Structure 1
């Protein structure tokens, strides 16, 4: 159950960050006022996902020590890197991929402790 909650917190946070990216991308182009920006469905989706992610995260913190739980959020770096590469077509260099590999190794090591 705790692992499921942790993964949900990561996925909701990642989805919120992707929605943030889409929100700011939709603001490009002709000057738009604050009222138009506030009507962006991407902005509201981002707030919803990030808010739900926070609530799920609080449930995780009830079940795991913060020293174990917090580093597990590093999975967001992995997920966002994959999203950047495959959804936004961003170039990811070898050094970045090596960092992703180290993050995964760290999460695996910490996961064995939990």
Structure 2
């Protein structure tokens, strides 16, 4: 159950980050003020996802040691890299992919402890 909660926290955090990206992308072509920006549904989705992610994270911290749980949030780097590549069509170089592979290996090692 703890690892499932950790995965949910990661997914909510990633969804929040993606919604932030969409929010700022939607602002790019609009020379509007902050009032218009605050009406962005992407911004509110980001805040909702990040807020829910925080609440789930608190549940995770009740169940896992912070020394195990926090490094496992590194899965966010993996997920965001995949989104950057396949959703936003950003170029990801080999060194970055190697780093992602190392993160996956580290999370797998930590997962055995949890």
1:6 is paired with a residue of what secondary structure?
Answer: helix
2:15 maps to 1:15: yes
Please name the residue that 2:55 is paired with: 55
Q: Distance in 2 between matches of 1:63 and 1:92?
A: 35
Written as runs of structure 1 = structure 2, the 5 A alignment for 1:1-114 is 1-114=1-114
1:27 is paired with a residue of what secondary structure?
Answer: helix
Q: Deviations over 1:50-105 (max 9, x none)?
A: 00000000000000000000000000000000000000000000000000000000
Task: State the Cα RMSD in Å.
Answer: 0.5
Q: Number of matched residues?
A: 114
Q: Distance in 2 between matches of 1:78 and 1:112?
A: 19
Q: Distance in 1 between matches of 2:111 and 2:86?
A: 27
**Cα distance, 1:30 vs. partner?**
3.2
Q: Distance in 1 between matches of 2:16 and 2:38?
A: 16
Greater than 4 Å deviation, 4+ residue runs: none
Unaligned runs of 5+ in 1: none
**Cα distance, 1:113 vs. partner?**
1.1
